[in-house]
């Protein structure tokens, strides 16, 4: 076998599913990056690729999922590599978008998630997209996305997250009272214990504080602290800081 015919595992020069050559150095895979850990719907969509290519893409998507919280930049490297291999697969573009979002690459995240929405004709992480618009200094576009999504079927947690982002966008624009109103709804009830209650209560308290409604803010920070079983927020500390000190 000639040297030029030998396979180099560090670089893949095969054509991707768009027909273009992908000369990208593959990031090293963690040992536990196995296609078997992917969600069934992701594996189903990858079945449209040739078997060997599906395995490569799947392992890099698995790596991105494993690393996205602890090492978001490395997760993004894996997601980008998967994209070079399967740019026409919606779940690949979705994974690239989410990895870019966690790595703080807002424009890239928005572009990838838009592509995923076009391919899948779904709601497509609209709250994340709106948050990217905010991060890019375009709060009015975040509000427009929230308005356009009113007719879409969103999961309850994503609908709440979108309200939180929209409220933040209102606040970015100096519309403090409107930010408070944007978070109001039947689930803004102190006794509720939905998975998102602590985050919703905290966001409401934070916007009340920004609007100068300190007493109400303290109350809702305390509500958030009581709902925050996992201690993911500093709600109790915020309530203490805002309370009058003797």
| Chain centre distance of CA 148 | 19
Break the chain into its structural domains and give their ranges. 27-121
Torsions phi, psi for 87 (to 5 deg): -70, -15
pLDDT in tens, 166-219: 999 999 999 999 999 999 999 999 999 999 999 999 999 999 999 999 999 999
Q: Which long-range contacts (CB under 8 A, 24 or more apart) does 71-77 make?
A: 72/99, 72/102, 72/103, 72/104, 73/103, 74/27, 75/99, 75/102, 75/103, 76/100, 76/102, 76/103, 76/105, 77/27
Query: Measured between alpha carbons, how far is 172 from 134 in angstroms, rounded to an integer?
Result: 8
Give, rounded to a whole angstrom, the gap between the first and last alpha carbons of the chain: 83
**Predicted confidence (pLDDT) at residue 16 exceeds the cutoff of 60:** no
Look up the pTM and report it: 0.85
Query: What is the pLDDT averaged over residues 110-137?
Result: 92
Mean pLDDT of 153-165: 93
Task: Please state, rounded to an integer, the average pLDDT across all residues of the chain.
Answer: 90
Question: Rounded distance, CA 178 to CA 64, Å?
Answer: 37
Q: Which CATH architecture has domain 27-121?
A: Alpha Horseshoe (1.25)
- Percentage of the chain modeled with pLDDT above 90: 83
- pLDDT of 133-144, one tens digit each? 999 999 999 999
Of residues 63, 54, 134, the one with CA closest to residue 99: 63
In this prediction, residue 183 carries a pLDDT of 97
CA distance 225 to 217: 12
State the pLDDT at residue 151: 77
Determine the pLDDT at residue 23: 60
């Amino acid at each position: 076998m000639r040297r030029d015919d030998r396979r180099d595992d560090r670089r893949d020069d095969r054509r991707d599913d768009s027909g273009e050559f992908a000369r990208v150095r593959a990031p090293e895979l963690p040992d536990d990056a196995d296609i078997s850990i992917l969600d069934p719907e992701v594996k189903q969509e990858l079945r449209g690729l040739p078997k060997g290519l599906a395995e490569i893409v799947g392992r890099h998507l698995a790596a991105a999922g494993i690393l996205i919280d602890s090492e978001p930049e490395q997760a993004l490297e894996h997601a980008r590599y998967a994209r070079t291999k399967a740019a026409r697969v919606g779940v690949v573009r979705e994974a690239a978008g989410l990895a870019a979002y966690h790595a703080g690459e807002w424009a890239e995240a928005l572009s990838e998630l838009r592509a995923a929405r076009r391919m899948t004709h779904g709601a497509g992480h609209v709250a994340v997209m709106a948050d990217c618009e905010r991060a890019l200094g375009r709060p009015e576009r975040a509000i427009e996305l929230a308005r356009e999504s009113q007719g879409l079927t969103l999961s309850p947690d994503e609908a709440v997250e979108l309200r939180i982002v929209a409220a933040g966008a209102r606040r970015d624009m100096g519309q403090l009272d409107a930010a408070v109103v944007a978070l109001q709804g039947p689930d803004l009830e102190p006794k509720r214990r939905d998975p998102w209650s602590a985050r919703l209560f905290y966001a409401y308290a934070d916007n009340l504080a920004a609007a100068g409604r300190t007493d109400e803010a303290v109350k809702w920070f305390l509500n958030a602290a009581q709902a925050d079983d996992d201690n993911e927020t500093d709600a109790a500390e915020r309530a203490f800081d805002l309370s009058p000190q003797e």
